[in-house]
Structure 1
Amino acid sequence: MTRSEFFLRSVIFVAIALAPFLIWLLFNVIVLATGAVLVATLMHVVATPFAKLRLPRGVALALSGLLIASIIGGTFFVFGRTMAAEFHDVLRRAEETANAISAEISRAGLSDYLPSSFGENISVSGVIGHFFTVSTEAVLGGLVAFFAGVFLASEPKLYSEGFTLLFAPQWRKEARETLGHVATALRRWLLGQMIEMVTVGVMSGVAVWLIGLPSPIALGAISGLSEFIPYIGPILAIFPSVAVAATIGPYPMLWTILAYLAIHQLDGNMIMPLIQRQLVRVPPALMLISIATFGTLFGLGATIFAAPLTVVIYVAVIKLYLRDTLGEQTPLPGEKAQTPSPW
């Protein structure tokens, strides 16, 4: 072994050994990059119908951006004041429910069996307010991710080719192919998530409105947005609705629980499989373990981007390991399965 070969192998070994530490150290940068890629992917998804009309790419992207901005701005203009009042009402009713539960625990004498800190200085509004507090750093990070996503969407080939140049010439073909498969999977996953979020949000809002709960728009929005975190988010979204129903009476609370169970059974057994069959499917156990891992390692906020990061890792493993290394003909998102998939 020559000195240059020994030095190169030493550098590769040190880089592999330091990779986990660098991921931990630069996770905020990874989150920003993920946000930028999602913004670019969203713009591409919305621009696809315009591109099919044979409009220039720049015009299609501009129309995509205008359409997204119009939808967001129009939603806030029409429902913004109503949703703000309804979110405040949901928070107030959740606080009332928490206080009632705490009082019942004390009245039943169960507080002696609970930790001494339980129920002391705990405020639902304080906890939720702290969770949804938007810091200046988060706002700046969101702006960086947004504008970076716009630049990515406007010149994707520039950045994809720049990424492939980081690899040795003999690896650039595989890197380019992998990047293409990852981009396709993210587009299909994001489209599926958008369909599922809107569907579940509308069904939840209509259900609580029929039951007679106040603030149906806010409760529907909470249910829809929670679908962005697969499996775990929808479970957590049940609690605000149940807390609101508890302030009205036991029967509305029972009907709310049954309604959400029915909606999520319908979602899990019909809507989600139908969407995943047509778009992209990640094994549920793998997604759950991945979300739990990201949350444990990097905090609760990391679970928001755990799903798209899992899609990226999942596609990269299939392409680089199962296909290129083991020679398995495992289908990737957007491809028809020619042989049974091990997943």
Structure 2
Amino acid sequence: MNRGEFVLRSAIFIALALMPFLIWRLFNVIVLATGAVLVATLIHLVATPFLKLRLPRGLALTLSGVLIASIIGGTFYLFGRTMAAEFHDVLRRAEQTADLISAEIGRSGLSEYFGENISISGLLGPFFTVSTEAVLGGLVAFFAGVFIAGEPALYSEGFMLLFAPRWRNRARETLDHVAAALRRWLLGQMIEMVTMGVMAGTAVWLIGLPSPIALGAISGLSEFIPYIGPILAIFPSVAVAATIGPYAMLWTILAYLAIHQLDGNMIMPLIQRQLVRVPPALMLISIALFGTLFGLGATIFAAPLTVIIYVAVIKLYVRDTLGESTPLPGEKAAPKSLPPSGD
């Protein structure tokens, strides 16, 4: 080994050793990049029908952006004021429920174990409070996603330059598989979010709870965090029902149990069978890991990051290195056998 090779290998070793520290320090940047990729994926997903009509790519992407902006703007125009009032009402009623629980705990003599007060604002505050940093990060991710959607080849080929020439084809294939998996995952999540939001909103409306639009929106948005989010979404509805009476609480709990049984046994398996499936235990552990290491905000992007890592590991290690015939999202069947890589 000559001096140049020694320096190069030492630099690679140091870079690999520092990688966990860099990920820890730059996780916010990773989250922004993930958000930008999701925005670009959403724009391309909506543009797909226009592209199938053989419209020019630029026009298809423009129509996609206009359609997304129109849906978001129209929703806020039609329901924004109502939803804001209903969200405020949900928090107010949840605080009333917390006061009742605190009073009961105080009378029972268990306050020394549970604390004297239970603050719903403290529990739900992180979910409803939007900081200036979060707004700026969202704007950066949005505009970066628009640029990526406009010229995906520019950024993908630039990313390929980070790899040695002999590895670029494999990196390009992996990136294509990751992009396909993200599109399928995002489509599945959008279907689940809309379905759960409509079902939950309709259920609480039939029960007679106030603020059904807000409660349905909470249930729908919570689906973006698989498995854990839908469970947490039950508590605001139960807290609102508690201000009406025990029968309303009972019916609300039963309604959500029925909805989640329907979702877990019929809707979710059907969507995952057609789109993308990550093992549930792996997804749960990943969400818990990201939340523990990087805070509550990291759980929002834990699912797409898990999809990216899962597809990359299957493609680069299980298939290319071990030679196992494992299908990837979007593939009807995996290659019958692949020789292990010698790289």
Which TM-score band (shorter chain)? over 0.9
User: Aligned AA for 1:281?
Assistant: R
Question: Which among 293, 297, 307 is matched to residue 297 of structure 1?
Answer: 293
Which residue of structure 1 aligns with residue 61 of structure 2? 61
> Normalization by structure 2: what TM-score?
0.96
In the alignment, what sits opposite 1:205?
Answer: 201
Q: In the alignment, is the contact (CA less than 8 A) between 1:211 and 1:256 conserved in 2?
A: yes
Of the candidates 154, 158, 163, which is equivalent to residue 158 of structure 1?
Answer: 154
Counterpart pick for 1:226 among 222, 228, 248: 222
Stretches of structure 1 that go unaligned for 5 or more consecutive residues are: none
- The aligned residue for residue 119 of structure 1 is 116
Deviations, residues 238-283 of structure 1 (Å, cap 9, x unaligned): 0000000011010110010010011011111110110000000000
Paired AA for residue 100 in structure 2: A
| 1:37 match | 37
Hey, what's the Cα distance between the residues in 1 that align with 2:201 and 2:213?
6
Identity of aligned residues (%): 85
Shift of 1:234: 0.3
Mapped contact 1:92–1:125 kept (Cα < 8 A) = no
Alignment-mate amino acid for residue 102 of structure 1: S
Q: For 1:190 and 1:172, how far apart are their aligned partners in 2?
A: 26
Is contact 1:204–1:220 with CA below 8 Å preserved after alignment?
yes
Aligned: 1:336 with 2:337: no
Native 8 Å contact 2:39 2:141 kept in 1: yes
Q: Distance in 2 between matches of 1:313 and 1:15?
A: 20
Q: Does the 8 A contact of 2:328 with 2:334 survive in 1?
A: no
Which residue of the partner structure matches residue 266 of structure 2? 270
Aligned residue for 1:209, secondary structure, equals: helix
**Within 5 A, what are the aligned runs for 1:101-180?**
101-112=101-112, 114=113, 118-120=115-117, 122-180=118-176
Whole-angstrom distance in 1 between the partners of 2:126 and 2:296: 13
Q: Tell me if structure 2 keeps the 8 A contact 1:228–1:304.
A: yes
Question: How far apart, CA to CA, are the structure 2 residues paired with 1:233 and 1:129?
Answer: 15
Deviation string for 1:178-229 (max 9, x for gaps)?
Answer: 0000000000000000000000000000000011101000000000000000
1:160–1:284 distance in 2 versus 1, CA, 3 Å? same
What residue is the counterpart of 1:81 in the other structure? 81
> Aligned to 1:167, what secondary structure does the other structure show?
coil
Offset at residue 128 of structure 1 (A) = 2.8
Superposition deviation, residue 127 in structure 1: 4.3
The residue number in structure 1 matching 2:11 is 11
**1:186 and 2:182 are equivalent in the alignment:** yes
TM-score normalised by L of structure 1? 0.96
For the 8 Å contact 2:201–2:212, the answer to whether it is kept is: yes
Distance 2:220 2:279 in 1: 22
Aligned equivalent of 1:320: 316
Alignment root-mean-square deviation, CA: 1.4
CA distance in 2, matches of 1:88, 1:133: 12
What is the deviation of 1:13?
Answer: 0.9
Q: 2: distance between equivalents of 1:242 and 1:95?
A: 12
**Shift, 1:132, TM fit:** 2.4
Structure 2 equivalent of residue 47 of structure 1: 47
**1-structure distance, mates of 2:166, 2:121:** 57
Corresponding position of 1:252: 248
Residues 106 and 116, structure 2, Cα contact 8 Å, conserved in 1: no
Amino acid at match of 2:304: P
Contact 1:181 1:333 in 2 (8 A): yes
1:279-326 CA-partner distances (Å, limit 9, x unpaired): 000000000000000000000000000000000000000000011100
Letter of the 1:253 counterpart: M
Aligned-residue offset at 1:133: 2.0
